[in-house]
């Protein structure tokens, strides 16, 4: 036996139609257990079910549906690695994983996908594309309500200048826009390499014609964008959020749109997945709402799934995966599994 035959890999939330991306694990002899695919939003597992399913698992794959708690991790003595499909890990108790010597590896390989979507959102708002399409379907034609704006010479404020923020700046370099950014861990020199000017938090909101959000969600950033920020924005400004819904005070966002403190918004992320029928922004013509799909393309989903499998295989071989979120767990992980 090669050793692979003793491994259990639990893929709780597989990507639809991408079973071939983890076929190599089956070919090596791993026992691969799969749950409902990501398209089955309401068919996830309870904490009790995950405790039982992960108890003898060597590796866990998931996206955002399953919440991985300390209780689950402490009940999983064989678990080496949690492989996240995508970037954000706020549904995983990373601190608990670190305490247990379990690696959390993500797959941040869809940065350009989200960057393209953010730019598409800006253009859709400026050109009123969804509104105009619905206006035409309702029997209307070109009138005073259908007139859009140009992106040319607008000031685009990129809130968070990590991988996605840099990709946005790179792709807007030929659009003759003014790029500004705020990121406490990025230098002015680094921002300038991408044609962006570093500004303060308050300046970004007050100067921008479009604010696009690309911050990570953590204890320090939850609810960080609220009434003060929307009050600082121009009445003509647009707000785009393709990062995490919980970064934004939802009441403050609704108030800003209802009272025309800002001109419009494109929102792809929400505090909870799925929207109630009475969600106030659903009825607003100046708002574009989409179902957390900014990072979803045929190409990006395959890249993400492939990277997650590579992360898993490295960990099962006793090697450090390429993308480890909790690198402070590595010493204990090596001690537990005799890894190199």
CA separation for the pair 24, 263 (Å, rounded): 50
> Domains (ranges, CATH) in the chain?
4-109+297-337 (3.40.50.720), 111-289 (3.40.50.720)
Q: Which of 28-37, 137-146, 174-183, 273-282 is predicted with the least confidence, judged by mean pLDDT? A: 273-282
pLDDT given for residue 338 in this prediction: 77
pLDDT value at position 208? 98
Active site positions, annotated: 244, 273, 292
Percent of the chain beyond pLDDT 90? 91
Q: What is the pLDDT of residue 340?
A: 62
Per-residue pLDDT at 1 exceeds 60:
no
Residue 339 has pLDDT above 80, yes or no: no
Mean pLDDT of the region 164-171: 97
pTM of the model: 0.89
**How does pLDDT run across 47-80, given as a tens digit for each residue?**
999 999 999 999 999 998 899 999 999 999 999 9
Long-range CB contact pairs, 301-305, < 8 A, 24+: 301/15, 301/18, 302/18, 302/21, 303/107, 303/109, 303/110, 304/15, 304/85, 304/86, 304/107, 304/109, 304/110, 305/15, 305/18, 305/21, 305/22, 305/85, 305/107
Please report the DSSP string for 67-122 in residue order: -B-HHHHHT-TT--EEEESSS--TTB-HHHHHHHT-EEE-----HHHHHHHHHHHH
pLDDT at 44: 87
How many Å apart are CA 216 and CA 129, to the nearest integer?
Answer: 29
pLDDT of residue 64: 86
pLDDT digits (tens, 9 = 90+) for 228-256: 999 999 999 999 999 999 999 999 999 99
CA-to-CA separations, 260 to 109, 159, 224, in angstroms, rounded? 37, 22, 21
> Residues 269-319: pLDDT tens digits?
999 878 999 999 999 999 999 999 999 999 999 999 999 999 999 999 999
Which pLDDT belongs to residue 274? 83
């Amino acid at each position: 036996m090669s050793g692979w035959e003793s491994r259990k890999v639990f893929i709780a939330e597989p990507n639809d139609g991408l079973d071939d991306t983890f076929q190599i694990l089956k070919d090596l002899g791993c026992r691969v257990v799969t749950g409902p695919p990501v398209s089955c939003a309401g068919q996830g597992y309870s904490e009790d079910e995950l405790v039982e399913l992960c108890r003898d698992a060597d590796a866990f794959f998931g996206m955002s549906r399953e919440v991985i708690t300390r209780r689950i991790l402490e009940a999983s003595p064989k678990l080496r690695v949690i492989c996240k499909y995508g970037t954000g890990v706020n549904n995983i108790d990373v601190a608990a994983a670190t305490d247990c010597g379990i690696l959390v590896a993500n797959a941040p390989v869809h940065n350009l996908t989200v960057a393209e979507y953010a730019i598409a959102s800006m253009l859709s708002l400026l050109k009123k594309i969804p509104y105009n399409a619905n206006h035409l379907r309702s029997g209307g034609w070109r009138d005073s309500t259908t007139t859009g704006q140009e992106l040319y010479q607008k000031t685009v404020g990129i809130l968070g200048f990590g991988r996605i923020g840099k990709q946005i700046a790179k792709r807007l370099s030929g659009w003759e826009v003014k790029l500004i950014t705020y990121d406490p861990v990025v230098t002015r020199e680094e921002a300038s390499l991408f044609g962006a000017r570093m500004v303060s938090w308050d300046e970004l909101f007050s100067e921008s014609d479009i604010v696009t959000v690309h911050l990570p969600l953590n204890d320090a950033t939850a609810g960080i964008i609220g009434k003060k920020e929307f009050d600082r924005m121009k009445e003509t400004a647009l707000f785009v959020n393709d990062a995490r819904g919980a970064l934004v005070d939802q009441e403050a966002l609704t108030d800003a749109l209802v009272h025309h403190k800002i001109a419009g918004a494109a929102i792809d992320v929400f505090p909870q997945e799925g929207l109630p029928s009475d969600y106030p922004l659903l009825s607003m013509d100046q708002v574009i709402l989409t179902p957390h799909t900014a990072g979803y393309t045929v190409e990006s989903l395959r890249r993400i799934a492939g990277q997650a499998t590579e992360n898993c295989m490295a960990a099962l071989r006793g090697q450090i995966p390429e993308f480890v979120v909790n690198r402070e767990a590595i010493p204990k992980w090596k001690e537990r599994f005799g890894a190199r």
